[in-house]
Structure 1
Amino acid sequence: MSDEKNSGNTFNINAVPSCIDEPVKAVLNPGANQIGTLFGDLLAMATSKIHFSAEKMRLQQAHDLEEFKKSLSDKLNAKPAECLVEPRMQVVGPAVENAKFCMDEPQIRKMFQNLLANSADIRYQSQVHPSFSAMIAQMSPLDAENLELFKGGRTLPIARYKYTLENDGERAAFTNCFLKNPKMIHATDIDLQATSLSSLERQGLIEIRYDCWLLDEKLYDVFIKNELRDILESELLQMKACEAKINDRKVQSLDFDKGIVRLTPLGKTFVSVCFDI
């Protein structure tokens, strides 16, 4: 075996528990079918821990598992044979364990499939980080949908609404208004979008900045008129009518700060590994 195999970058076959010893040994000289069999064995062990009370749910789980294995096998078979290598257990072990909870979410399931398939591809193996599995497990389908918008390294506009006050003061009205997802444009959707982007930022996959903005000012026109702004304008009128004061200063108008949102270096690597490019 090469020096790389002994460097700690891959798992020690002698340290693998006996319950998965044989499936793991099968990939010492891996091919697509052999690697697919390993993932199938690990998935079977992981999902066997779940016991559903309803037969319908058990059947659905079995169906979803087979679909997962079939799609994963297709991805492996589509790769050049010379690019297939032994996957690292530090990556695939947690991935198959976490994947069992996400079989009914197509976007999340697909990300796990890409992570597993690319963990066995020498072209991607150095980019596959052990934390990726936990990141996917913490994502909602909306998070995955939003993250995919940044494929290709796109930098997208974002806005932060604020109320201006007397004496040049200001107060936050709404932070992280993101309108680039065409499925999420209503006021209640925009609130969910802000939560989604905050979660992606917390994971270190995107960065949100308001100290710079895109040069094309037309990209920010969407923040001038939308459902959320209408609601904030209505609230402004109510505050004025009641002569509401913030720190003894009256609210004067509604404005917004321009910003940008883009992938971090970690986010770029994550997207290249876990999404279809």
Structure 2
Amino acid sequence: MDNSVLDLVKGTPNILGQIYTDLAQPSVKAVGQALGTVFEFSTSFLLPVKLLNEKFKLNFKKRITEYEKKLEEVPEEKRCEVHPQIGTPIIEKLSYTTNDEIADLFTTLLANASNIDMVNTAHPSFVAMIERLSPDEARIIKYLKGRNDIQYCDFRGYSLDGKGYIDIRYHQTLLPQYVHLDFPQNVNAYLANLVSLGVLFDMAGTYRIDETVYNEIKRVYGFELLKEQLVPKSYKNIEAEKSYYQITDFGKLFIQACIK
């Protein structure tokens, strides 16, 4: 290891000095005040050494600049120093996060951890949760802000002998109609992941009284056409079982902390 690298590892290196030419800018000073202790702890991840790589440095500067813009929106009297328990892992993740949608969740969480009025929403577990999201799932999280549930229907075909049923279509929602998904065929896997993270809870067996959304789901997925094609040839009957995913209190806190 050459001397320049050794100098970076020792002590508390000026990380902002490696990515900004003018440290006197008020916005840059604000970042330094909010992340000072976080950057000190970040030396354990050899962040200063990584910044010697130009490609790494450009990506990291982009993410810090995105955070800087969000921090500027916080009134100066409301800004606070970020606790390293949440700030340090976010900085580590931002250093190699190239997807803009995932990075936006991280920088919003970091900005809220810098805000006296919002710091209570910045739960440390949210960092690991974001890392477990795909870009499509990040878009779903943004769609969920201000909502309470995701309604769905199961199209069940009841056997001709009356001994049971199969789900012809399982947990059909309107998400692909309202959220741009790179892989809409994976939507049920995405929802299962959000359930595993505690953001959603499957309320199977219960349903909303207002049938507006359920009727739209049946229309979009051709419920009546399925009945015409398959009843009574293949099934005794086909029914649409209604239910919904409830956004949990924990999920609402996660959305509040990570979505601007």
Q: Same fold (TM over 0.5)?
A: yes
Correspondence 1:259 to 2:243: yes
Query: 1:25-67 CA deviation, whole Å, 9 max, x = no partner?
Result: xxxxx94442256667749944855998xxxxx53x4433222
Partner of 1:270: 254
Displacement after TM superposition at 1:129 (Å): 1.0
Contact 1:173 1:232 in 2 (8 A): no
**Unaligned stretches of 5+ in structure 1?**
1-16, 24-29, 53-57, 241-250
TM score, norm. by length of structure 1: 0.70
**Unaligned stretches of 5+ in structure 2?**
1-8, 16-28
Q: 1:83 to 1:45 in 2, by over 3 A?
A: farther
Q: Which runs of 4+ in 1 moved over 3 A?
A: 17-23, 30-33, 36-52, 183-186, 225-237
Measure, in 2, the Cα distance between the counterparts of 1:170 and 1:47.
Answer: 60
- SS of the counterpart of 2:154? strand
Correspondence 1:209 to 2:203: yes
Measure, in 1, the Cα distance between the counterparts of 2:219 and 2:146.
Answer: 28
Measure, in 2, the Cα distance between the counterparts of 1:145 and 1:229.
Answer: 27
- Match of 2:106, as an amino acid? F
Q: 1:88 to 1:132 in 2, by over 3 A?
A: same
Measure, in 1, the Cα distance between the counterparts of 2:167 and 2:109.
Answer: 39
TM score, norm. by length of structure 2: 0.74
Query: 1:166-221 CA deviation, whole Å, 9 max, x = no partner?
Result: 326222334322213425699x72x3111111100110011221322222212112
Matches within 5 A, 1:31-50: 31-36=30-35, 42=42, 45-46=46-47, 48-49=49-50
Measure, in 1, the Cα distance between the counterparts of 2:129 and 2:167.
Answer: 30
Measure, in 1, the Cα distance between the counterparts of 2:154 and 2:122.
Answer: 34
Contact 1:210 1:257 in 2 (8 A): no
Return the match for 1:129 from 110, 123, 128: 123
Partner of 2:187: 193
Matches within 5 A, 1:116-265: 116-165=110-159, 166-167=161-162, 169-182=164-177, 189=184, 191-226=185-220, 240=234, 251-265=235-249
Query: 1:105-159 CA deviation, whole Å, 9 max, x = no partner?
Result: 1111100001111112121222211110000000011111112222113333212
| Aligned-pair Cα RMSD in Å | 3.6
Displacement after TM superposition at 1:71 (Å): 1.2
- Match of 1:195, as an amino acid? A
Measure, in 1, the Cα distance between the counterparts of 2:179 and 2:200.
Answer: 19
State how many pairs are aligned.
234
Measure, in 2, the Cα distance between the counterparts of 1:20 and 1:46.
Answer: 11
Measure, in 1, the Cα distance between the counterparts of 2:52 and 2:85.
Answer: 26
Correspondence 1:91 to 2:86: yes
Measure, in 1, the Cα distance between the counterparts of 2:134 and 2:224.
Answer: 28
Q: 1:176 to 1:273 in 2, by over 3 A?
A: same
Correspondence 1:112 to 2:106: yes
Measure, in 2, the Cα distance between the counterparts of 1:21 and 1:183.
Answer: 46
Tell me which moved more, 175-184 or 154-163.
Answer: 175-184
Partner of 1:13: none
Contact 2:83 2:113 in 1 (8 A): yes
Correspondence 1:79 to 2:74: yes
Partner of 1:243: none
Measure, in 2, the Cα distance between the counterparts of 1:130 and 1:185.
Answer: 29
Displacement after TM superposition at 1:252 (Å): 2.7
Measure, in 1, the Cα distance between the counterparts of 2:11 and 2:152.
Answer: 50
Tell me which moved more, 162-171 or 201-210.
Answer: 162-171
- SS of the counterpart of 1:257? strand
Measure, in 2, the Cα distance between the counterparts of 1:231 and 1:71.
Answer: 49
Displacement after TM superposition at 1:270 (Å): 0.6
Identity value in percent: 19
Query: 1:209-256 CA deviation, whole Å, 9 max, x = no partner?
Result: 13222222121122223358699779958x83xxxxxxxxxx433322
